[in-house]
Structures are given as C-alpha cells and as structure tokens.
Structure 1
Amino acid sequence: MGVSLFVHSVRLVLGDWRNALKITGLLYLIYAVPALIFALLFPTPVQPEQAMAALGSGGFLGVITAILAIVAFVWVAVAWHRYVLLDEMPAGQFPEFNSSRLLSYGGYSLLIGLIGFVLSFIVSAVVGIVAIPLLNVVGIFITGLLALAAVLIVGYRLAPILPSIAIGKPITLRQAWEATNSANVPIIVLAVLSALAALVIDIPAFIFALAGPIGGFLAVLWTLATGWVKMIVGVSILTTLYGHYVEGRAIPSATAGANG
C-alpha cells in the first residue's frame, strides 16, 4: 500500500502537470525569485568567517526569503488540496487568499512539526541511553534512524488534518490519528520512497556544487526548479493520505484519472 500511495501522489502531479503549474507555478515564484536573488548576492560560504559575514550582510533578505517561502508553501498547499479534493480551479491568476484558512493551515503545520521535534528528542534520548555500549557510528545510526522513523510515522498520521483544513472540513488531531490507525507500515514505506526520490533528484545539485562558482549557481537553479516538484508531490502525499484514510477513496489504478 505504501508504494501505491507514493505512486498515486506522483501521478497526481505528473498526470496533470499543466493544471499543477497553472495553479501553483506563480505562487512558487514568490519564493523562488527572492531565493535566487539571495543566492546570487550571497553565494554559499566555505569558511566560518565567510558564513558570519554573509549572515550579517544578508540577514534581512534571508528573513524575507524565509517568510515568502512559508507563505508560498501554505498557499500552494491549500490551493492544491482544494483542486484535487474539490476540483476547485482558481478563477484568476492566483488561487483565493483566505487568510483564516492559510493561518490555520500554517499553525497546525507548525504544531505537527513541534510534536515531531519533541518526539525526536525523546526517542533519541531513550535510545541513546540504551545504545551507550554502541557509542560509535552504529549506535548513532540506529538512534537517528529510530528517531526519524518515529517522527515520520507520527507526522504522516497527523497530517490528514491539513487537507481537512484546506477544504473547509476540519478534523481534530485525534480524528486524524484514529483514521490512520492501520497505516504505520504503509507510512514507513511511503516515507522511505519519498526520501529516496528526493535524494535522487538532488544528486545533480551536489555534482554542480563541486564545480566552483558557476557550478554553485547551476546547483541553485536546479534546486529551485526541482523544489517545485518536491513541494507539490509532498502536498499530494498529504492529499492522498486524507483522501484514502479519511474520506475512504480508493487508490486508482495507473490507467485511472489523476484526481481522487
């Protein structure tokens, strides 16, 4: 099931990429353009003193870029959820900006992130104590792996609350948790596939970054270009989890339509 969830989420984007770009492309540029400007003005430093200088000179622009990234992501996420689950196509160049809906979505996203951070700290502490005899690479790897697995399971199990907010049918964290009671194994598979796909997509950026200043610029361009794909597929994963485990939608076959 985890493989089916991932494939369906990717198909939601690739099978309907024109509408995906139409709905979210301009919103993504709200973040991508300032991020590109920031990267051009403040290339990635290689020495600690360069890092401090870049932080001091580019701090304000960096904060603005981060804020725009958050706004763009939340706006994109809500618009894409509503398109897939409600067949809602924006009337204008941009999707509706419903401030209360976006704030609620962003707030619960932060809450889920905070829960994941606390859980990761607890799991790492407990496993770290048990793994004291393995205070080496193996022990660190096991601790990190278990902490990450716990965060991903909890995060994805609570995540259906986000699409529910986007479409105006909010559920509680408890309802989201109960709806995904049987999803632990599929979610682990889904998380592994998502991480591997993101890693493969980023390989060219790592290679470009080794080729000096020009390579660094190409790495930034590649990262921004593929960032849209990773963002919209990630949102599609949340949409799929909500549609399947909360609304009871079946995962269509490869020959079925994109929406669902």
Structure 2
Amino acid sequence: MAQTVTGVSIFFGALGDVFRNLPVVARIIALPLALYLALEVPMTRADIADYESFEAGFGGAWLFRYIVFLGVVGIVSVSWHRYKLLGEVPKSIVPPWQFGRWWRYALAWLVLGLIVGFWVALLVAAPLFIAIGFFAPDLWDRILGFGYGTGGFFDFADPVAMSVAAAGLSMMLFTGLFFTYRLQTGLPAIAIERADGFNMTQSWRQTAPLGAKLLVTALLATVGQAILIFVPEMFLYNDPAWSDPAIPYSFSYMYFDNVVVAISDVVLAIFGAAILARIYEAIQLADDPVAVF
C-alpha cells in the first residue's frame, strides 16, 4: 500500500524526524551554534557602534553575520540531508570536512533566496505597498513608527497598524516559503551529490503534483516560524535604549538579544532542512492519488 503524502504529513513528519533524533540533531548543531555564539561577541560590539552612530543595519557586522549564517545553514543542512537521506550518522560534534558541499549548498540557498525574494516583492509586497499608499497613505507612517514610543517595539499603541504589518509580513513569509518548497529540490540533491545542477525549473516540475499540499505545509511553517521568531522579539525589543537615544546601548542586553536570534536561526535551519528532506522524499510518491489535507 502506498504511503499517503499530505501537506500536514510533510510538516509534522519533519518535526517528528527532528524530535525523534535529538541526539543526532545535537551533534549536528553543537559546533556551528557554538561558533555562531562566539562570533556574536565581536559582532555585538560592532552593532553597538553602528547604532550609536545612527548606522544601524548598514555596518560591517550585518554583512559578516549574514555570511556566518550562510555557513551555518550549509553545515547544518548538509549534515541533516546526508543523515536523513543517506543514513550517514554523525559520530561527533565535529562534522566531516566537506567544504565543497557546504559552500555549494550555501550559494544555492542564497541564489534561491534572492529569486524567491524577487517574486515575493513582485506578487505580495509591491501590491500591498501600492494599496496602502492609495487607500490609506497615513497608515504608512503609523506602521513605520509603531513600537518606537514609550512602550518598546511591541507596545500595541496602534493595534490597526500592528495588525496590518503582521498580516503583510505573514503573507510575504507564506508566499516565500511556498516558492522555496517548490524550487528547492536541488538543495538536498547537492548535499547527497545527486545533482546535475541546481535547476529550479526542474524542481518546479518535480514538485507540481505536490503543489496544493505544499501550500498547506507553507501555511503550517508560517505559523511555526512566526511563533519561533516573533514571540521572543516581543520581549527582547523592550529595551529603553531602542526608543530613547539618550540611553546608551547595553552590551549584555544586545548580546542576549543576538544569542536568542542566533539560536532561532539554527533551529530554523535544522527544521527547514527536515522539511526539505521530506519534500525530496515525497517527490517519489507524487504520482499516487493522495489527499491534499
């Protein structure tokens, strides 16, 4: 009897894969996470210098942090794909040296992200921005200004602006995840060295039978990522220094903030790799007459 593949089974099957194999997950993420957290010390000091000079988000720390994140994604994802798809069990926290696979995976992930970002901007962000500008231009100031008052980032001072912002971000995240799931089959293939090349057109054709199911997977993943990312931020961005330039930034507070974000990044990387591996496996069953939900 053929195994039934649904959007729900892909998502929760990936979660189950991770939680059933926590010792393996710990070995996969331990060293990348430790290096990430160590590098956050100089990056946090650079963040403080950027914010105090009103250059937040444009300093070298931002670029260096993204490069580190790409490295973490490459190491964690390749290790998980090889474990799940090939049965290659990591024997220690030090991963076998496979720099070629890591950088090819990270580069393909970056290219995929740029292409998905373009389509999200075209299909969701641009129409949303135009609609707000046309029907409620004052809402822009409220959205961009909310949270920088006396109550911190999530002070709920303007529930309408916050609701619109949350809905817009959720729509963009959902669309981005769906396109990622449709275009990503080359990523696990790179990790297990079965790729003829990172061919997103081929991936789109391969995942076509799973299209409706991946909408469900993307919806569940959107909820999961929102919880994992935004709930901690509700508490982290209540430092008075965010809303009062006269108050100096605290290294301990900003480092703690960056540590929470770094841990979230690594957790998202392992769960993301688990979902991609499930989709890669499900392609083999895509011709079966299975339910969408």
Q: Indicate the larger mover: 112-121 or 145-154.
A: 145-154
Tell me the residue number matched to 1:18: 23
Cα distance in 2, alignment partners of residues 95 and 34 from structure 1: 19
Tell me the residue number matched to 2:88: 88
Tell me the residue number matched to 1:195: 222
Pick from 207, 212, 218: which aligns with 2:235?
207
Secondary structure of 1:183's counterpart equals helix
Tell me the residue number matched to 1:9: 14
Tell me the residue number matched to 1:74: 74
Q: TM-score, normalised by structure 2?
A: 0.68
Q: TM-score, normalised by structure 1?
A: 0.76
Secondary structure of 2:209's counterpart equals coil
Tell me the residue number matched to 1:220: 258
Deviation at 1:242, TM superposition (A): 0.7
Conserved in 1, the CA contact under 8 Å of 2:181 and 2:214?
Answer: yes
Cα distance in 2, alignment partners of residues 150 and 134 from structure 1: 23
Deviation at 1:96, TM superposition (A): 2.4
Conserved in 2, the CA contact under 8 Å of 1:81 and 1:166?
Answer: yes
Q: Indicate the larger mover: 176-185 or 234-243.
A: 176-185
Conserved in 2, the CA contact under 8 Å of 1:75 and 1:97?
Answer: no
Conserved in 2, the CA contact under 8 Å of 1:209 and 1:215?
Answer: no
Could you list the per-position Cα deviations for residues 144-180 of structure 1 after superposition, in whole angstroms to 9, with x for gaps in the alignment?
A: 7766554332221111210011011115323321221
Cα distance in 1, alignment partners of residues 128 and 239 from structure 2: 39
Conserved in 2, the CA contact under 8 Å of 1:28 and 1:76?
Answer: no
AA of the residue aligned to 1:35: E
Secondary structure of 1:96's counterpart equals coil
Change (3 A) 1:162 1:52: same
Conserved in 2, the CA contact under 8 Å of 1:3 and 1:189?
Answer: yes
Cα distance in 1, alignment partners of residues 50 and 100 from structure 2: 39
Cα distance in 1, alignment partners of residues 22 and 284 from structure 2: 25
Conserved in 1, the CA contact under 8 Å of 2:189 and 2:195?
Answer: yes
Pick from 182, 189, 192: which aligns with 1:157?
182
Deviation at 1:64, TM superposition (A): 3.4
Change (3 A) 1:44 1:170: same
Cα distance in 2, alignment partners of residues 143 and 90 from structure 1: 40
Q: Indicate the larger mover: 149-158 or 71-80.
A: 149-158
Tell me the residue number matched to 2:207: 180
Change (3 A) 1:218 1:85: same
Conserved in 1, the CA contact under 8 Å of 2:36 and 2:68?
Answer: yes
Q: Which runs of 5+ in 2 are unaligned?
A: 1-5, 140-159, 241-249, 289-293
Cα distance in 2, alignment partners of residues 228 and 119 from structure 1: 25
Conserved in 2, the CA contact under 8 Å of 1:24 and 1:79?
Answer: no
Q: Would you say 1:235 and 2:240 are equivalent positions?
A: no
Deviation at 1:108, TM superposition (A): 1.9
Q: Which runs of 5+ in 1 are unaligned?
A: 251-260
Conserved in 2, the CA contact under 8 Å of 1:124 and 1:147?
Answer: yes
Change (3 A) 1:36 1:189: farther
Tell me the residue number matched to 2:146: none
Cα distance in 1, alignment partners of residues 58 and 115 from structure 2: 29
Q: How many residues align?
A: 243
Change (3 A) 1:44 1:227: farther
Cα distance in 2, alignment partners of residues 149 and 200 from structure 1: 14
Matches within 5 A, 1:48-63: 50-52=53-55, 59=60, 61-63=61-63
- Indicate the RMSD between aligned Cα atoms, in angstroms: 3.5
